Amino acid sequence: MRQNQDWSARLFSIYHQITGGVVAIILAATLIALVLAFGLHSMLEHARWQARASEAAVRLSRLDQKISHELAAEVHADTPSSALSYRSQISVLNSMVDDLTRLDELLEAVS
């Protein structure tokens, strides 16, 4: 003979409890995975930003050194500037333009 169970008995049967528990565990694991993925993504973004900021600081330091060395060389020069001195100045200015261009790219990426 077949027993007639009401809906509350079926709802709280062991099969439904296990199914509900598995679904809850899967949902919790999915939520944890999403939170971890978001955290990892933001951590990597911060690391990229930090790398750009560090490179910008290095480039600014390099520009400062080039400018100060060039000014010191001009101050300590005994002879008036010659064509060779102008060529070295142009070389320094070209490298400074490259550094400034890269610095501008870095700052655009940061903001």
- Parse the chain into domains and list their residue ranges: 7-110
Q: What is the pLDDT of residues 38-89, one digit of tens each?
A: 999 999 999 988 888 888 788 778 877 877 776 666 666 655 555 556 666 6
* Mean pLDDT (whole number) for 19-48: 95
Give the pair of three-digit tokens for residue 27.
């949902």
What is the rounded CA–CA span in Å between residue 91 and residue 99?
12
Q: Are 99 and 63 in contact (CB under 8 A)?
A: yes
What is the average per-residue pLDDT within 9-37?
A: 89
pTM of the model: 0.51
Q: Are 55 and 106 in contact (CB under 8 A)?
A: yes
